[in-house]
């Protein structure tokens, strides 16, 4: 007698679940304190040259740094990152460098 009651309860639960309308997920607004994601720029290494985000090519020097078209020098630090003239660091990623 317990099996028919359990089966009826299960069927009733399934019937109620089938009748409910699914709720759609709405995108949640980002909290004010969260940093916004900024697009990154890439410096690609091809042989002994680097390709800058605008497509300009520059030869790398012996230290791994290079000169920008405006004459400013990009240095390579001890950890392998590039240090831009404005102080930003471009981190190596295996295909080149990712810059902020």
Write out pLDDT tens, residues 2-31. 555 655 555 555 555 555 555 565 555 656
Alpha carbon separation from 34 to 27, 29, 38 (Å, rounded): 15, 10, 12
pLDDT above 70 as % of the chain: 61
Residues forming a β-bridge with 51: 44, 57
Which residues are within 8 A (CB) of 67 and not within 5 positions of it... i.e. 6 or more apart?
Answer: 58, 73, 74
In this predicted structure, the answer to whether residue 38 has a pLDDT above a threshold of 70 is: no
Give the H/E segment covering residue 73: strand 73-76
Which residues are within 8 A (CB) of 81 and not within 5 positions of it... i.e. 6 or more apart?
Answer: 89, 90, 91, 92, 97
């Amino acid at each position: 007698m317990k099996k028919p009651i359990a089966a009826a309860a299960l069927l009733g639960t399934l019937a109620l679940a089938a009748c409910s309308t699914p709720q759609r997920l709405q995108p949640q607004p980002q909290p004010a304190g969260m940093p916004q994601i900024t697009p990154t720029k890439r410096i690609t290494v091809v042989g002994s040259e680097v390709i800058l985000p605008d497509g300009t090519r520059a030869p790398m020097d012996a230290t791994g740094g290079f000169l920008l078209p405006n004459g400013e020098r990009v240095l390579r630090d001890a950890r392998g990152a590039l240090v831009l003239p404005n102080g930003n660091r471009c981190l190596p990623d295996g295909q080149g460098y990712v810059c902020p």
